[in-house]
Amino acid sequence: MSRALSALPTRADTPATFLSAHPPSWNGLLEALPEPTALLDGDGIVHYVNGLLTALTDYTPGELIGQDVVILMPERLRERLLRTRRERPRHAVAAIWNDEDLTIQRRDGQEIPVEVTRSPLALEEGSWVVVAIRDVSTQRANEQARADTELRFRVAFENNMAPMTFADANDRIIAVNDAMCQMVGFSREELLGCDSTPFTYPDDVGITESTHQRLISGEVEQVRYVKRYLRKDGGVIEVEVSRSPARDADGKILYFVFSERDITEERALAAQLKHQALHDPLTGLANRAFFEERLAQAHGRVIRHGGIGAVLLIDLDDFKGVNDSFGHFLGDHLLTAIAHRLQIATRSADTLCRFGGDEFLYLAEGLVSPKEAEVLAERLVSVIAEPYNIAGFQIEQHASIGIVIWDATCTSFSETIQNVDAALYEAKRNFRGHHVIFTPTMHQAAVSRFSLAQELRQTFNAGDLAMHYQPIANLTSKEVVGFEALMRWNHPDRGWVSPEDFIPLAEQSDLILELGSFALRESIREASKWASRTRLLRPYVTVNLSAHQFLDPGLVPMIKMLLGESALPPEYLILEITESVALIDIDETMKVLDQLGILGVGVALDDFGTGFSSLSYLAKLSPRIIKIDQSFVRPLDNSDRNDTLLETIISLGQRLDMTMLAEGIETEAQFRRLRRLGCELGQGYLFSPAVPSDQVEAMVTRGFST
């Protein structure tokens, strides 16, 4: 026996002596009881135990009989219990089996929760107590499990941050958590006993009810749906609801569990992201993806109902000049203003999108004839052309439009976009500010241009482009005073490709800057050699500049560097710009001209007479040379009126102290007329086409004998 057991009080009688003094019938009586049982005397000493008790405690009868019943108490309580017994000797047994610790300790030290029943028994020998002990560990475990389950439920339901509701078989709310109350703005008392109608948006009443019927009928086991709730404060929210039934063992529905999620912000964000994915962030117009979707829908309607539609590609003329002159910030404001005008001018049933950069696509539906598309294009061109006042600047902007007419036979939307781009190219090539309707021949022309553009890049990279020089003659002395540098491309299959064909292709990309740099570098290098080759007269060289090149900030520093490297005196370099290039941004143009003037480089105004600017700009630009356009030199019809106009142009230049140079002289009659009117310089096939650099010396020495 352990030291703890040996320390417990015992009766003086040995177990054998005690048993011999009492009838053996007690053993049979105790063994017949259904619970583990012990017989105690008034002092708490064990006299009898049945087999169930020894099995429960793992003690043998001999280890229990004669021992103080405290032996069955947990060791941590024994000293306190013995002290209580000493203080209350008349209640020795009651002091042990109290309501605080209904626990016994097995022989191996394991504690077992029990229920104890004490029954007093009065015999001749004295007062006895029959103690029945029942193991309730399983019961207590089950109770703890239920308590844990209830706790988890409270955490999962009552304290859950997700709104949750329980509803009975009639869809009446029987339980609701705080999160649900907060979401709809109603108190728990206002919700209990009601269905979802009080907090359902009126148009969505019936959604929950229909899911109830589907669950009751067994059509589905659980459902998920979205509906709108009307909060108590009047706010409307969108909610995703997950609903499933709780069933008993027989499959009968006991109640329904609702788990809900406020998706208002999520839906708003999704709508915003969808809008951003289908709309241009700058102008708010539809983008290309949305446009193609609407084009497909429109095509389906035409297949079903007939009719025709049109796609218009709107391109802003010389918009790069706006960005270069005023900056991209103002350019963006101009694009937004144009988009707003187009939205007002177009039909709400049609689709307007920003195609990219300075291009807009317009889908017109329900047309009766192509003429309607042309009328629409004219209106859009007119609307865009009205002046803009942006950030204190007065800006005029024009546009060109390509048009594709389509019907039910259209099957390729990408082809439609390609075709309208081809039509736009023709509109800009012929005369900007107008529109052109696509024809099949334009497609082949577009393919040819694309192929030519690719070959141009390859040719330039291979170093196979060359500069030729067309002589400029003094019409009085017939001496060669200068040369216009002209780029030439000898294609292996196409032969000589006209600059009128490949320069516009280069202007559609940054290749035009590379070609312009090449032309300046080659022309300045060649002109620097002419002084040693031409002993009588040193000719100057003129080089054409595109709008991109003239407005390029690197132009003046590059010219300064090239002049320094070649030692060409700056007065022998003339830069040619057209009137339209000069007037893109007159202030920026004047800055560039001032910088060139400081270098000593002259400027020639090309194609004079074909623009629409005020003559006041002519004096402001003050070019060294004015080149009279060939349309005045060789008009379609000879008349006194044409002579008067040409004479006026020449006289104007002379009065402004500017040298007049006539282009496109092809006949002796044209030459004589120009010389008679006092024009100083001229060039054209009458004198010579452009020639390679190795023929320049002979031409200067020889002069002309017209």
Task: Give the Cα separation of 689 and 671 in Å (integer).
Answer: 16
Residue 143 or 183, more confident: 183
574 against 325, higher pLDDT? 574
Is a pLDDT exceeding 80 seen at residue 579? no
* Two tokens, residue 505: 């292709």
pLDDT for res 616: 64
Helix (H, G, I), strand (E, B) or coil at 628: strand
| Structural domain spans, the chain | 3-135, 159-268, 279-438, 467-702
Residue-wise DSSP of 647-699: HHHHHHHHHTT-EEEE----SHHHHHHHHHTT--EE-STTT---B-GGGHHHH
Asked which of 29-33, 380-384, 643-647 is least confident by mean pLDDT, the reply is 29-33
Model pLDDT, residue 511: 87
CATH number of 3-135: 3.30.450.20
DSSP state at residue 498: P
Query: Which CATH code for domain 159-268?
Result: 3.30.450.20
The mean pLDDT of 214-242, rounded to a whole number, is 92
Average pLDDT over residues 262-285: 85
Could you give the C-alpha distances from 172 to 157, 212, 448, 608, 665, in angstroms and in order?
17, 11, 75, 89, 99
Q: What is the pTM of this model?
A: 0.52
Given a cut of 70, is residue 14 above it in pLDDT? no
480, β-bridge pairs: 473
Is the pLDDT assigned to residue 414 strictly greater than 90? no
For the ranges 6-15, 418-427, 511-520, 572-581, which has the lowest average pLDDT? 6-15
Per CATH, 159-268 and 279-438 having the same topology is answered: no
403 CB contacts (<8 Å, ≥6 apart)?
310, 311, 312, 313, 370, 373, 374, 377, 420, 423, 435, 436, 437, 438
CB 337 within 8 A of CB 390: yes
**Mean pLDDT, to the nearest integer, of 154-159?**
72
Which residues, including other chains, have CB under 8 Å from residue 484's CB and lie 6 or more apart?
Answer: 469, 470, 472, 541, 542, 544, 576, 683, 690
Q: What long-range pairs does 297-300 form, CB within 8 A, spacing at least 24?
A: 298/351, 298/363, 298/365, 299/406, 299/408, 299/410, 299/413
Report the share of the chain in percent with pLDDT over 90: 40
Contact in structure between 653 and 449 (CB atoms under 8 Å): no
Out of 126-140, 441-455, 653-667, which region has the weakest mean confidence (pLDDT)?
A: 441-455
List 662's β-bridge partners, or say none. Answer: 628, 682
Torsion of CA 101, 106, 110, 112, to 10 degrees: -40
Residue 611 has pLDDT above 60, yes or no: no
Per-residue pLDDT at 600:
94
Residue 9 in tokens: 């009080």
What CATH class does 279-438 carry?
alpha beta
- Residue 679 and residue 628 in contact, taking contact as beta carbons nearer than 8 Å: yes
3-state secondary structure of 521: helix
Helix (H) or strand (E) holding 365: strand 359-367
Q: Which amino acid is at 100?
A: E
- CA terminus-to-terminus distance, the chain: 147
- The set of long-range contacts for 207-216, using a CB threshold of 8 Å and a minimum separation of 24, is 208/171, 208/241, 208/243, 209/171, 211/243, 212/171, 212/256, 215/243, 215/244, 215/245, 215/253, 215/256, 216/169, 216/253
Contact 111, 102 (CB under 8 A): no
Higher pLDDT, 685 or 640: 685
Q: Has residue 578 got a pLDDT over 80?
A: yes
Question: Tens digit of pLDDT for each residue in 70-105?
Answer: 889 888 888 887 787 777 665 556 556 655 558 889
Written as one string, the DSSP assignment of 183-212 is HHT--HHHHTT--SGGGB-GGGTTHHHHHH
- Of 213 and 86, the structure prediction assigns the larger pLDDT to 213
CA distance 142 to 357: 74
Judge contact between 358 and 316, C-beta under 8 A: yes
% the chain with pLDDT above 70: 89
Q: What are phi and psi of 262, to 5 degrees?
A: -75, 115
> In the prediction, which pLDDT does 645 show?
84
* Mean per-residue pLDDT, 471-488: 94
Task: Write down the pLDDT at residue 94.
Answer: 58
To which CATH superfamily is domain 467-702 assigned?
EAL domain (3.20.20.450)
Strand partners, 134: 115
